[in-house]
Structure 1
């Protein structure tokens, strides 16, 4: 004891003399590189009030567009929120999978909830809006835990945020998937598996979520293979949900590929080479394309931009060794690139939580030079303003029945 005592002060002085480094997000034991790949400024807890205010303001602006259309064009709530896929969800809720062609392309989670609402006397338009609005609150809360308040705020004001307020699956899926990721990151794998199973009732994207969580398991450091096997075994829970849906469709139609056949028949989802899909999309973005359909060409241009953004996010994750997050985005980009052309990608960006972490990281960057800091602040304000304006335009597109991706 006496021999080691004099060394303690010297060691303390040596520790104090070491240069300090910027702190990173502390990773709980057994978590992947994602937990240490982002600066602490981005992940500081708190800011809950700002997220709540952003949720209220963003939902309020969307409601304002609907109110203005109701006053100026005498549109009803039902007519504004019941366009496009909402019609399919409504048919499923009322008559089941055999009530109309190609309904097998949709997962049963949302239609089941809408059907329950109908049993209680609640119209699809009302129950769907309520479910999506609540789902957006839970999704924003999870995203704030994953990436800080600015990630959640950016998501709430995303250009396609209207789809988180109408009877679509994006809001509920994001709530389940984002919380599943948060639970997995916190080493609560049973909860993560159950939430992933819930996500699997809503969209085929649940399959990609299972795959990304598996990547998280195999890239996690400082745990043994027995722990990896236990976590992987829990993923059987959500995988069973997907298997049950496939079996259900087989018993209903006699085809093991009923879901894919419906996607291919109704939405040209197939196996097209990505470069051919890109070439097929080019005519749709040319000036004058679809002149008799306002907004179509613009939406296709955004589809192109969304695909490019997906590639950027994937690279951003790979550079930071966020392997699971990279796989989550990359597999979706690949899937969308294999359709006849690029479409529905604009809605999928809502699911890409690494995108909103990237946006928040850029938005909270603090340049040291004053001139660069001013320029950065101007760019951030401009980008946010444009996002809000595009969000309002997208609300108008959807509420008036124009194609909105």
Structure 2
């Protein structure tokens, strides 16, 4: 017999299973650091609110403190809740000035969280966590944690925790920027469109992404993806059509802004002069005058940031800041410019890089910013005008 037939038949062996790559942790060390900073600052703000409800009661001789959540039921929150609960055009004045994104999310969350204020705080809490994680990635691993710390200690940071639109807007806007950097333009356009449904500032972000697309090189410039960047206009068009169907006015949003917040067009120097007079001519209460002074300082800060971005040739970010300053700086007077600094991500990334290079700059920023943050928080939580 052939020798080959005398050999024992070979038993097929099972192929070795391919080695599984270890799964990367979803949160890297920077993410965990950022979330710790976020939670600690939220606890600090909650402690501030607790103290405010006791130090600033409804009446000077009150024996019981106000409910803790009442500290967050201030100013624009009433408009958001009214829209979420009853819709537009139900007795409240000029609610058309508020885009529907946040009220829609608030109404959805309220189906699970019965208390309206708690629902609003939950939205800001979750979306704020997403926003700070995205900001850390935008700023980079070296300064990302510092950028988040400076944002969360910034003067108007209380609005990131309250039931306002800033946190929700950033939770869509900052990931949109990251998507654009990674050449994922469809995703970037979708996120920007969602941000636009929350705030009109989403249109400024869309313009910045368009500039980023146009100056990109290599695989970043793929012209067939350019039409995606028209998507952020859809929420604005849809909201405009809705308001026209209800009011017969194609400019209903703009007219509500003018009636409620004096956002009639004025030249930049007229807006500066009107704000200057309100800040220093003694015609207004001291608290309002101080906030007008803060508006002037914030505008100067924005102009300095714009000049710095131009010098660094960061065209996309300069476009966003320029459009924001134009929108805020051409009303009768400045309104909510300090709050708008929360949405200026290049500011916090740039300050973080500066403080990392200079220990003295770190001390200056923290010693100036932290007290102002507490002051703004107390002002807002006690029901006073805080921009």
Please give the range of the TM-score, normalised by the shorter of the 2 chains.
Answer: 0.7 to 0.9
SS in structure 2 opposite 1:167?
coil
Q: Name 1:215's counterpart in structure 2.
A: 211
Q: Name 1:53's counterpart in structure 2.
A: 36
Asked if residue 404 in structure 1 is aligned to residue 386 in structure 2, the reply is yes
On the 8 A contact 1:128/1:166 being kept in 2, the answer is yes
Compute the displacement of 1:287 (Å): 7.1
| CA–CA separation in structure 1 for the residues paired with 2:211 and 2:220 | 15
Asked if residue 127 in structure 1 is aligned to residue 119 in structure 2, the reply is yes
Compute the displacement of 1:123 (Å): 1.9
SS in structure 2 opposite 1:330?
helix
Compute the displacement of 1:78 (Å): 3.6
Alpha-carbon RMSD across the aligned residues, in angstroms, is: 1.7
Q: Name 1:205's counterpart in structure 2.
A: 201
Instruction: Specify whether residues 186 and 282 from structure 1 end up closer, same or farther in structure 2 by C-alpha distance, changes over 3 A only.
Output: same
On the 8 A contact 1:277/1:341 being kept in 2, the answer is yes
| CA–CA separation in structure 2 for the residues paired with 1:326 and 1:178 | 15
Of 232, 239, 258, the residue aligned with 1:245 is 239
SS in structure 2 opposite 1:348?
helix
SS in structure 2 opposite 1:364?
helix
Report the TM-score, using the length of structure 1 for normalisation.
Answer: 0.82
Q: Structure 1 residue runs of 4+, over 4 Å off?
A: none
Q: Deviations over 1:271-293 (max 9, x none)?
A: 100000000011222175533xx
| CA–CA separation in structure 1 for the residues paired with 2:252 and 2:189 | 26
Compute the displacement of 1:385 (Å): 2.7
Q: Name 1:162's counterpart in structure 2.
A: 158
Compute the displacement of 1:224 (Å): 8.2
| CA–CA separation in structure 1 for the residues paired with 2:79 and 2:161 | 17
| CA–CA separation in structure 2 for the residues paired with 1:186 and 1:49 | 23
| CA–CA separation in structure 2 for the residues paired with 1:230 and 1:75 | 57
Q: Name 2:259's counterpart in structure 1.
A: 265
On the 8 A contact 1:136/1:171 being kept in 2, the answer is yes
| CA–CA separation in structure 2 for the residues paired with 1:252 and 1:78 | 34
Q: Name 2:351's counterpart in structure 1.
A: 359
Instruction: Specify whether residues 101 and 288 from structure 1 end up closer, same or farther in structure 2 by C-alpha distance, changes over 3 A only.
Output: closer
Q: Name 1:68's counterpart in structure 2.
A: 51
On the 8 A contact 1:157/1:387 being kept in 2, the answer is yes
Instruction: Work out which of the two has the higher radius of gyration on C-alpha atoms and give 1 or 2.
Output: 2
For structure 1, list consecutive stretches of 5 or more residues without a partner in the other structure.
1-44, 366-375
Asked if residue 179 in structure 1 is aligned to residue 164 in structure 2, the reply is no
**Stretch of structure 1 that moved more, 241-250 or 116-125:** 116-125
| CA–CA separation in structure 1 for the residues paired with 2:119 and 2:32 | 27
On the 8 A contact 2:213/2:220 being kept in 1, the answer is no
Q: Name 1:331's counterpart in structure 2.
A: 323
| CA–CA separation in structure 1 for the residues paired with 2:220 and 2:29 | 34
Number of aligned residue pairs: 347
Of 287, 307, 311, the residue aligned with 1:315 is 307
On the 8 A contact 2:274/2:332 being kept in 1, the answer is yes
